[in-house]
Amino acid sequence: MTLAALQDTEIPDGALLVAYANGDRDAARILAGRLAPRTLAQAYRMLGDQAEAEDVTQEALIRLWRIAPEWRQDEAQVSTWLYRVTSNLCTDRLRRRKRSVGIDTIAEPESGAPSVAEEMQDRARHKALQEALSELPERQAQAVALRHLDGLGNPEIAEIMDISVEAVESLTARGKRALAALLAGRKAELGYENDH
């Protein structure tokens, strides 16, 4: 039986991963098509650099391919696992990154996108956020990113980080307070008119 006969969207990630582990090449194609854009987006929101986001995505997926033979569908969701690995890889990169390295390779804006000035302001704010995130304790940075960059709910974050919901709430609250303090001196630069 091959997966080619079934609709791509019908098959859960876990089942595809098991099929992949059994040598199915179609499974890899479908899984990569689903997972890579999501993972790349998560990494890009946190790191702000195309090349770094691609490196993280490639590393995360290689790890996924390698654990495929051990994958237990009843024990975990592939998306949870991938969020966790990607988050860890990103915070590793943030820690290693020096402030002077400001590689900013952002895709060309499509027509109809925000104006150039808005684009530049977004870039500056995104860069400032990455720098501030790199100053945070790793777990705070992860919780804040999963909540406010990836838009995940606290129960899902709790599962990804393997902690309680209360711990997630505590980490995100502390992380936000720390970010607010770290970014305090940059308001004017980031387009906030009044220091209020």
Stretch that binds other proteins, among 5-13, 35-43, 134-142, 156-164 (CB under 8 A): 35-43
Structure token digits, residue 87: 């988050």
- Distance separating alpha carbons of residues 138 and 40, to the nearest angstrom: 20
12 Cβ partners below 8 Å, 6+ apart?
73
Binds other proteins by CB under 8 A, chosen from 11, 15, 128, 165? 128
Q: Which is nearer to other proteins, 33 or 153 (CB)?
A: 33
Stretch that binds other proteins, among 6-14, 21-29, 70-78, 82-90 (CB under 8 A): 21-29
66 is an interface residue for other proteins by CB under 8 A: yes
Q: Which residue has the tokens 């859960």?
A: 12
Burial readout 116-155 (b: 16 or more C-beta within 10 A, e: otherwise): eeeeeeeeebbbbbbbbbbebebbbbbbbbbbebbebebe
- Which residues are near other proteins by CB under 8 A? 20, 23, 25, 28-29, 31-33, 36-37, 40-41, 43-46, 48, 50, 53-54, 57-58, 61-62, 65-66, 68-69, 106-107, 114, 121-123, 125-126, 128-129, 148-149, 151, 176-177, 179-181, 183-185, 187, 190, 192, 195-196
